[in-house]
Amino acid sequence: MTNKFSKMAERILSIDIEDQEKIDRVYDALLKSSDSESFRILLELLSSGDVIHTQKAADTLALKGDPKYLPEIKEIREKLPARPGLRDYRQTVDRAIEILENIRNRSKCRCNLYALQNGYSNRYNPYEEQKEGFISIVKEDVHEKEYYTDYYCRCNFCGRRWKVTDEIGYHYTLYKWEEITDKE
């Protein structure tokens, strides 16, 4: 189907992948735009199946935080082809769906999502969560010899406390979220 949005998406898809700055500028503009056009273009990019652009579009849609487009995002997710890679690029789309569903459920914070993480995943980087205003990192415990760090975090909305442990992989870092329930 050719429409003006798919043409705009095609232009974005044709940007030289080495030109990270230009790509970041484009997604930043799509993030800041509040008109429905920006969502249409992002949905086109999401459905492209391009490993980089599908993930960037998913992250941008999650940050825009409008659950209105959930049915379309889910439909696109179903049709995305598997690609060889170290991790399934479609996980980023699953994460966006999870975040938008959480917003639709009127949750202010993401504690429900952290609690859902089963062991290590690349889904919630504590620094990103802090930057987006969801949590505060209260303390960092660096285990130099074992090459990992524990981040002690507090939710800015409900006050739940989390210990996040990272695991530096070869290509990306994984995080494990555990709730702190003691009274210390």
Residues lying near Zn ion in the complex (CB under 5 A) = 109, 111, 155, 157-158, 160
Task: Name the residue nearer to Zn ion (CB basis): 24 or 179.
Answer: 179
Least distance from Zn ion to the Cβ atom of residue 31, Å: 24
Q: Looking at the chain, which runs of residues are DSSP E strands? A: 135-143, 148-155, 161-168, 173-180
Task: Name the residue nearer to Zn ion (CB basis): 63 or 115.
Answer: 115
CA–CA distance, 150 with 163 (Å, rounded to integer): 6
Q: 162: Cβ–Cβ under 8 A, 6 or more apart, which residues?
A: 111, 114, 135, 152, 153, 154, 155, 177, 178, 179, 180
CA–CA distance, 177 with 124 (Å, rounded to integer): 8
Least distance from Zn ion to the Cβ atom of residue 104, Å: 17
Task: Name the residue nearer to Zn ion (CB basis): 69 or 124.
Answer: 124
Task: Name the residue nearer to Zn ion (CB basis): 74 or 154.
Answer: 154
Least distance from Zn ion to the Cβ atom of residue 92, Å: 23
Least distance from Zn ion to the Cβ atom of residue 135, Å: 8
